[in-house]
Structure 1
């Protein structure tokens, strides 16, 4: 068995570094054009250059999304953009539209192409077709079971890789092929501007009784008939590996740095532990505990085990148990002074948990808080302000401080 790649989202440069530091083998991100997260902090050319340098120096790979379904005017400048990505040495592009694939093959034939999940590949025959068009990797639609994935893997040549989502948000439409957002808000989900109307709260109104709204299902909490749960397959690493999946993908380019770090860390530990001794492998509860801290909706296993009708549920609310409150920028061993960059407001005396890539989390107390001028402060209220604390516990650069909402 070959250890699968762990692929993480990178919504911006900080998240790219977090993903790599916490164990991702590769990241995927949006550049300056033609990606399906138009409202993310997409990378400028300079940020992409820095991100590529950071990743490549550590032996990691970077994939750039060009996964919109372009209209005519979206194609302007496509050749130049592809050449720029190739010159920057991106490791692959994620593409869903045949026209963009054709243009990439003509313009930058050496650039690796991955078929985006937006192309809804749900069978081995289609996967063979795309592979013959020069696609190196097929990102499978989320709507497949493990049995179907195994069959696809067995029918494909060995040099055609398959990638599958294992964690994150799901979509009520076929992997994002949805027109509701465009119809309701004028924002086209297939061009990167989804307004997520599936998360809205809907009522039923009878035409002869205007302004009288009734829940679709009588429930005092309302109803959320289009909402989906969050995918979580961390308890099923052996099944994913045995299905022959080459890359395990985490969703979440719009999610926080804390989300990226904690989810990547848990999956990294689970995958590595399995490969240390597959026959003796046992799932560890601490991994799920880690995933439960990050903001999420109710977890489930998606379509992997043949449960296509269990996706919707009665609430659109996120479960948010922990917040990131700071990132360690420096630690002076001689004085026991840690320099922190604020992420959420904290107070003198607060207990926070330290999250780092390798070790289990541990708790410290914020003591002797001072601002950059060395003045005593009772809290750190300002976004990204720099402050110091005193702690006898040795902290490391880029340690993340998280705090329970309780």
Structure 2
């Protein structure tokens, strides 16, 4: 039986706890520095508190240290690693190979971040040989490619993104933000170059597409393919979104948790969850109702078009109907959706731009905007990107994760003993009390079970409750039962905490001695930004070592490698479409400020390379 893990993002401690309460088996979170989302950092104290909460349920906490590190930051990085080791984190996500030359914390697993550009079994084997227990695969891989990597490395955990924003470039090989704005994606400061507007130009400089978000991909959603991914060997199903708010985390985590439970329910012999606990949310999750740019499974089943959203990089939300009639300061919507005051709606106007507005008052399907949008016309499709009723439902959710605990009360004439054990964990607690008991006039077992089941505001929910001997003949005051229950649960909580603080992860054995690092066409793509990384690659036999892009500042560089192909997206694929209609190379994209980027189409590897032009 294989354990499946739902891995959710945590912007902060509050989001991390919410993710666990909504069904996550693990969460990933940034520390004070060196995470791939520079805007979100968390104190060591908050990470420690998150670990304590997570470990009660057998959940895990992974911390991102997945940027490239400069020489003057190595001491701070070592200090951070030491601190993370002391507070009980389960794994560290790494990009910079220089960290392998640091003093890594004992018992903390190493995960190779997607920033290490993990496209092949050869790369994954090389990482496993260097002590990485898990590899986060590139988002671009197909199901067959994922399965092939698992078959080649059956003992290496594979983590795959299943939901959230997509980077258009292979992670770790995107230098566009650094080149254009001095904000490095490999340093956690991406300026979202790919969400900007471009013109697409042919070889003569004629405009093919104007003022469009040519590189802005839709969001990934693979909720209907989780079972296929599990069969392909995926261990961990990752939700993107360390910048997302708590309601996004609640909704998406709950949706994927329910889906995994459905799969496990029908295939109990094959799969189980990697953590424990009952997660019953008070809301019904709906992926269409929280932030999304439209959904795609990306390349899971091979190359396809309609991956991008040229009109807008913003969230459009769910389709709610079409404009039926406009009258003065209001309009009617044809459709079955219900609306609430304060809902946010949007539409694509006549200039192919996203236009949004807020509903001031809703009277059935007649809507009164706060300000009537100028571009709204009869027949236009409407989308809701802010659902007030659903947001209120999420905000009011008080769901708490509970551990199922079995209770056993045993009695003799002069002694009571209560034992509590957590289902699925080798963990139990026992308390006893010397007491003289009187014989009962009436049967007591059912009352005893009712009293013991009152676990109130704890992390526990009563499972099986047994009262022994079966012919229970004594009267036990409710006050005594409450005292025993309270003491036993407190002892169980302490036992669980002690058990989790003693968790150690064994280092992975080296199994691929002949594995070699992937060779890149350009030396800066190894992302070597410090002396430890340089030493590491020297020992690996890399020749002609050069510094990272951020330090090298190359001229007219390759700034992106993409499996996404703009030719394919617009029906101009050289292999697939009519040769007579193909626009000849080179194609270029142009930013609003006039800077241009040459597109190179590598049809052998089915890859689009983007080069900056000076």
| Mapping for residues 40-119 of structure 1, pairs under 5 Å | 40=40, 42-103=41-102, 106-119=103-116
Shift of the 182–294 alpha-carbon distance from structure 1 to 2, 3 Å rule, reads: same
| Mapping for residues 329-348 of structure 1, pairs under 5 Å | none
Rounded Cα–Cα distance in structure 1 between residues aligned with 2:201 and 2:267 = 56
Aligned length: 321
SS at match of 2:19: helix
Report the alpha carbon displacement of residue 179 of structure 1 after superposing the two structures with TM: 1.2
Partner of 1:4: 4
SS at match of 1:8: strand
Give 1:253's match in structure 2, choosing from 242, 249, 254. Answer: 242
1:74-110: CA deviations, max 9, x gaps?
Answer: 323222211110011100000012111332xx44243
Rounded Cα–Cα distance in structure 2 between residues aligned with 1:357 and 1:242 = 34
Give 1:217's match in structure 2, choosing from 209, 214, 218. Answer: 209
Partner of 1:177: 173
Shift of the 215–75 alpha-carbon distance from structure 1 to 2, 3 Å rule, reads: farther
1:233-267: CA deviations, max 9, x gaps?
Answer: 00112211111100000000001111111001010
Rounded Cα–Cα distance in structure 2 between residues aligned with 1:215 and 1:289 = 43
Give 2:164's match in structure 1, choosing from 168, 175, 185. Answer: 168
Report the alpha carbon displacement of residue 197 of structure 1 after superposing the two structures with TM: 1.5
Partner of 2:199: 203
Partner of 1:363: none
SS at match of 1:56: helix
Partner of 2:142: 145
| Mapping for residues 181-192 of structure 1, pairs under 5 Å | 181-192=177-188
Rounded Cα–Cα distance in structure 2 between residues aligned with 1:199 and 1:288 = 31
Rounded Cα–Cα distance in structure 2 between residues aligned with 1:357 and 1:174 = 39
| Bigger fraction of residues in strand | 2
Partner of 2:259: 270
Rounded Cα–Cα distance in structure 1 between residues aligned with 2:138 and 2:60 = 22
Larger radius of gyration: 2
Task: Give the TM-score taking structure 2 as reference length.
Answer: 0.49
Partner of 1:376: none
Alignment check: 8 A CA contact 1:8 1:251 kept: yes
Rounded Cα–Cα distance in structure 1 between residues aligned with 2:398 and 2:301 = 31
Q: What are structure 2's unaligned runs of at least 5 residues? A: 269-282, 319-338, 343-358, 362-387, 401-455, 458-614
Alignment check: 8 A CA contact 1:95 1:101 kept: no
Partner of 2:393: 354
Rounded Cα–Cα distance in structure 1 between residues aligned with 2:137 and 2:241 = 17
SS at match of 2:38: coil
Rounded Cα–Cα distance in structure 2 between residues aligned with 1:70 and 1:308 = 36
Q: Give RMSD over aligned pairs.
A: 3.2
Rounded Cα–Cα distance in structure 2 between residues aligned with 1:35 and 1:233 = 25
Alignment check: 8 A CA contact 2:112 2:136 kept: yes
SS at match of 2:7: strand
